[in-house]
Amino acid sequence: MLHQIHRGENCENIRPGDVVFSYKPAVRAWPLHAGIYAGREKPVRPGRGNLEVVGVPDPLSERQNFLGCSNWTATTEYVPSIIGRRVEDADPIQVKEVKIVATAMIRMHRAIGTSCEWKRTRIVSATRYVLDGIGLFEQGTCTHFVEYCYENAGLDLVDQDYTRDPDEPHRIYPATQIHVFLRGSYPLRCQWDSRLRYYPDCLF
């Protein structure tokens, strides 16, 4: 289920583990950013609210480009523009597992004195683990991180072996994940369509 807050839609109940997208079309290189909601259940209204979001910042951020948790509001660098909720086939307990995985990554990096940086390629540790043997996420994009946390909660969003951009096969676009929540059928498994690269083109 998709809620386009920036278009005046309400989200009656955001849950821990739901995906929050920031959309700033004026930032042409990276208009979309994605993270995982880590706060309590509550309604979200256009232009209001303060959402605690875990994610890997994009490379144009004025902050350091590391995994972290920050508050998104209507006036911060990242704004809660779009919310993706997996309600069609997952209950709140399953979705909360996504948040548990995400926050475990932050705690582990802090405990061992390492950092997880935004990079175009994803790297997962083969020797360091969180929770029940989940490889530590060491670097990647915001959407790599979201996808990885969902995968390890048993809630894959995109079948990357089948649905991927032939020009950039290792990339996951925020717009593709937005399309998944709009469709409400998981995981996404379809022939590549160039509209999956961009928002709002992905709304089909």
Q: What is the pTM of this model?
A: 0.95
- pLDDT of 58 above 70: no
Sequence letter at residue 145: F
User: What confidence category does residue 57 fall into, taking pLDDT thresholds of 50, 70 and 90?
Assistant: confident
pLDDT digit string (tens) for 134-153? Answer: 999 999 999 999 999 999 99
Which long-range contacts link 121-130 to residues 24+ away (Cβ below 8 Å)? 121/170, 122/148, 122/170, 124/148, 130/101, 130/104, 130/105
- pLDDT of 61 above 60: no
pLDDT digit string (tens) for 1-47? Answer: 999 999 999 999 999 999 999 999 998 888 999 999 999 999 999 99
Sequence letter at residue 46: P
- pLDDT of 194 above 60: yes
